């Protein structure tokens, strides 16, 4: 099996092929002129990498534009709201806002730990049930394995829920 010679430059191609020919310097020059659009092997790889990196960088232009617009909008909103807002404070403006209801106690009162426990349990069980949606989307591809995995997952959720219920963590008062 013969390998085609690899030339690293057009000059090398000119020297090896054309100078050994029978004296058809004009034909060889025309052939080399047609090959001038090809770059040498070493710089061809560099040119290809540069072109590829430019193409990759151009893919990030929409993201950069989005970041600039989002940052500009945030700064614009802060500046405009600071310019048009009233700087005078009064008693009503300094009160804590609680859904329009007059506050009866101090805003820094202590809350029962059960409030936070119920909130955390809600978040935990809510986030865990979100994992069921991707499973439901590809249920037909998972077959029996997916069904068993989901049964184990739901069993663990029910055990955790039962434990929280038995400990009284779901009681409000």
- Pick from 72, 170, 154, 52: nearest CA to 121: 170
Instruction: Give residues with Cβ within 8 angstroms of 128, minimum separation 6.
Output: 153, 157
- Please report the pLDDT score of residue 30 as a whole number: 53
Burial per residue of 83-93, b for 16 or more beta-carbon CB atoms within 10 angstroms, e otherwise: eeeeeeeeeee
Name the pLDDT band for 19 (thresholds 50, 70, 90). Answer: very low
Residues 42-56: what's their mean pLDDT?
A: 60
Give the global pTM.
0.39
Residues in CB range of 28: below 8 A, 6 or more apart: 14, 17, 18, 21
Alpha-carbon distance of 139 to 20, in angstroms, equals 70
> What SS3 state is found at 109?
coil
Residue 9: closest CA among 44, 48, 43, 40: 40
User: Would you say 169 and 125 are in contact if contact means Cβ atoms under 8 Å apart?
Assistant: no
- Calculate the CA 125 to chain-centre distance: 26
Q: Strand, helix or coil at 14?
A: helix
Average pLDDT taken over every residue of the chain: 75
Identify the H or E element spanning 69. helix 61-84
Q: What is the pLDDT of residues 107-155, one digit of tens each?
A: 677 877 888 888 888 888 888 888 888 888 998 999 999 999 999 999 9
The pLDDT assigned to 49 comes to: 58
Tell me which residue has tokens 């859904």.
99
- The single-letter DSSP state of residue 107 is T
Q: What is the mean pLDDT of residues 54-61?
A: 80
């Amino acid at each position: 099996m013969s390998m085609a010679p690899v030339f690293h430059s057009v000059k090398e191609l000119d020297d090896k092929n054309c100078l050994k020919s029978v004296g058809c310097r004009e034909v060889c020059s025309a052939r080399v002129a047609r090959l001038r659009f090809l770059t040498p092997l070493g710089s061809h790889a560099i040119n290809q990498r540069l072109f590829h990196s430019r193409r990759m960088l151009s893919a990030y232009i929409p993201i950069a534009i989005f970041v600039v617009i989002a940052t500009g909008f945030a700064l614009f909103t802060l500046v405009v709201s600071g310019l048009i807002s009233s700087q005078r404070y009064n008693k009503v403006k300094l009160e804590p806002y609680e859904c329009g209801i007059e506050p009866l106690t101090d805003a820094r009162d202590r809350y029962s730990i059960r409030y936070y426990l119920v909130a955390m349990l809600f978040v935990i069980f809510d986030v865990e049930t979100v994992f069921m949606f991707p499973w439901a989307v590809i249920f037909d591809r998972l077959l029996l394995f997916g069904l068993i995995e989901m049964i184990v997952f739901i069993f663990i959720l029910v055990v955790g829920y039962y434990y929280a219920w038995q400990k009284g963590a779901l009681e409000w008062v």
